[in-house]
């Protein structure tokens, strides 16, 4: 059974990130009546998302933001772990894409670390990341940053330092 949410609750909705539920709306279409959660993105793009309450797959993408304790526990669980860089572009793109699609925050953090280290290495050599790697990095950083800002009551500039402190980097 899926979790019930309330109007004005803040939720994470897949790769849309932090949203606020503005209403629970009943929509009549083709002789059927369905309830939808209406979500409004909170950070950046002004997106409205309609999530049908009867669609289990879409409802599973909606969850409450992690608490501070959950974030700290997750950070400690990835400490000392890493994802290895794959030199073959196609293999790397496929692997990184599968991680980004997984919506697994632990893997997202490890992937951010992997791409960030390669970015630093390339910059030192006067080179740049591929656009695919750069876009993956930006997307995952934004999603993690948005949730951590909300849950930890930090501004965006503080999130990176918070993560580094917890991981003792």
User: What are the residue ranges in the chain where pLDDT is below 50?
Assistant: 1
Q: Give me the pLDDT at residue 1, please.
A: 43
Cβ neighbours of residue 36 under 8 Å, at least 6 residues apart? 24, 25, 26, 27, 50, 51, 52, 53
pTM (predicted TM-score): 0.83
């Amino acid at each position: 059974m899926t979790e019930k949410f309330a109007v004005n609750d803040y939720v994470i909705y897949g790769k849309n990130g932090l949203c606020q539920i503005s209403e629970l709306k009943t929509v009549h279409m083709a002789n059927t009546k369905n309830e939808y959660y209406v979500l409004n993105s909170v950070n950046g793009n002004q997106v409205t998302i309609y999530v049908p309450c009867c669609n289990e797959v879409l409802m599973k993408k909606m969850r409450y933001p992690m608490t501070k304790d959950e974030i700290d526990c997750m950070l400690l669980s990835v400490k000392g772990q890493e994802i290895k860089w794959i030199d073959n572009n196609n293999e790397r793109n496929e692997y990184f894409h599968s991680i980004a699609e997984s919506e697994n925050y632990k893997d997202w953090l490890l992937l951010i670390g992997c791409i960030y280290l390669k970015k630093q290495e390339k910059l030192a050599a006067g080179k740049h990341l591929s656009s695919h790697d750069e876009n993956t990095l930006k997307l995952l950083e934004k999603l993690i940053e948005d949730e951590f800002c909300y849950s930890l009551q930090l501004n965006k500039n503080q999130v990176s330092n918070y993560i580094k402190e917890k991981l003792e980097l």
